[in-house]
Amino acid sequence: MAQWTSAVGAAQLARLLNSQQERPAGPGTRRPPAYRALADGVRLLVLEGRVPVAARLPAERELALSLSVSRTTVAAAYEALRAEGFLESRRGAGSWTAVPAGNPLPARGLEPLPPEALGSMIDLGCAALPAPEPWLTRAVQGALEELPPYAHTHGDYPAGLPALREMLAERYTARGIPTMPEQIMVTTGAMGAIDAICHLFAGRGERIAVESPSYANILQLMREAGARLVPVAMAEGLAGWDMDRWRQVLRDAAPRLAYVVADFHNPTGALADEDQRRRLVDAARSAGTVLIVDETMSELHLDDGLEMPRPVCGFDPAGSTVITVGSASKAFWAGMRIGWVRAAPDVIRSLVAARAYADLGTPVLEQLAVNWLLSTGGWEQAVEIRRTQARENRDALVTALRRELPGWEYDVPRGGLTLWVRTGGLSGSRLAEVGERVGVRVPSGPRFGVDGAFEGYVRLPFTVGGAVADEAATRLAAAARLVESGANGGTESPRTFVA
């Protein structure tokens, strides 16, 4: 059985290779042989995630014709990639991309930093801001006032508190998406929602299509559930989804599920436009794929005058293709572990029934707090505080990075909480490792890819501002200098990835 889960055509690979900007050679520098340049180009595309891991590459003759080189050049490049662990082949099945053995996904960068370390370490690992006071305190006080009637019950509400389900349904309806409370289930955060959906729809070994890059914690959740992840590369910069690639993957791989973040994608910050949303829903419906649409960032639009596209579920009036997931964690506070699912009533009934063997329900007090916020107007005021914090932090971080690390590349998103940064050819894993030694904690790019892609990236969240953002950039620059110099405390020299 073939080990590839998607395919890259010869013309597409040629376009990607030609898009790589060749760095000017210094005085006396010899150009590498043609096969070596081709191998390095493919390797860089894999490590950047522009060509997914486990993607079948075109036959040697086809690629040679598309690149106008000899078949011998392509054969030699493929052989070099196999020797380095970036290509695997099997007679009759072709060749597909890989990442060398011994390069595990980095384990650092996204777990919460222990409180005792906060004084000495700048934590850029978690994309989460402090609670927007005084609204957290007011919400908890309001919840305590509403608690007594619920305290006289068993306290288990597998579908969520009726009042909160009704309030969430009203909010979708106000956005132009008619919704009944029977279409809502309250969960323990967005992670709990997606875990429940995956267990319902995708058994072990099922294929799930994911954006590449994608949210690291969701990728790990799906791996541990036994899913076979099929990466679909994002379009360049902040252009959103590459619909040609999505159509190809949905048609060829026929995944049971697909997970996407349409609104201020984590980690790139891209915002999918309405045409992309419509086309993705149509393609998924044709393929029989259920879309999980993560809306946790949808309210964090930071720039004035930005008109938000219609929700993805708005292009699925029958409710057969799109399952929407929301959460209070990003828009309000990560410590408020309240999420929700909007789906067809029969899907909600199945998810609720399955909770008898999972967590039974979501804590009542937190649900009452969110309901208080939504029903009093406190939610809108708290989210506005959050937007202001994120906007100021984003601008401070970008200013500091431009000063300290002018060679790093990124597109500044118009919302969300994350900046996806190309590190000028340096290993993101090495930067994460050295960064902790100089007092700044960042997650490396491979955490957001499938099987080690995006080695040349790091994700920087908008969680610090002012002088702290300046210091974070200074420490990142120090880490970059150490990586460039090979000062790794006796470990192997850092790898750079330059085509």
HEC profile of the chain:
CCCCCEECCHHHHHHHHHHCCCCCCCCCCCCCCHHHHHHHHHHHHHHHCCCCCCEECCCHHHHHHHHCCCHHHHHHHHHHHHHHCCEEEECCCEEEECCCCCCCCCCCCCCCCCHHHCCCCEECCCCCCCCCCCHHHHHHHHHHHHCHHHHCCCCCCCCCCHHHHHHHHHHHHHCCCCCCHHHEEEECHHHHHHHHHHHHHCCCCCEEEEEECCCHHHHHHHHHCCCEEEEEEECCCCCCECHHHHHHHHHHHCCCEEEECCCCCCCCCCCCCHHHHHHHHHHHHHHCCEEEEECCCCCCECCCCCCCCCCHHHHCCCCCCEEEEEECCCCCCCCCCCEEEECCHHHHHHHHHHHHHCCCCCCHHHHHHHHHHHHHCHHHHHHHHHHHHHHHHHHHHHHHHHHHCCCCECCCCCECCEEEEECCCECHHHHHHHHHHHCEECCEHHHHCCCCCCCCEEEEECCCCHHHHHHHHHHHHHHHHHHHHCCCCCCCCCCECCC
> What mean pLDDT value characterizes the chain?
89
pLDDT in tens, 177-233: 999 999 999 999 999 999 999 999 998 899 999 999 999 999 989 988 899 999 999
pLDDT in tens, 289-308: 999 999 999 999 999 999 99
Range name among 93-102, 313-322, 428-437 with the lowest pLDDT average: 93-102
- In this predicted structure, the answer to whether residue 105 has a pLDDT above a threshold of 80 is no
pLDDT at 480: 96
pLDDT in tens, 397-456: 999 999 999 999 999 999 999 999 999 989 888 898 899 889 999 998 988 998 768 889
pLDDT in tens, 13-51: 998 887 654 444 444 446 789 999 899 889 878 876 778
Rounded percentage of the chain residues whose pLDDT exceeds 90: 71
pTM over 0.85: no
- In this predicted structure, the answer to whether residue 235 has a pLDDT above a threshold of 90 is yes
pLDDT at 106: 39
pLDDT at 488: 43
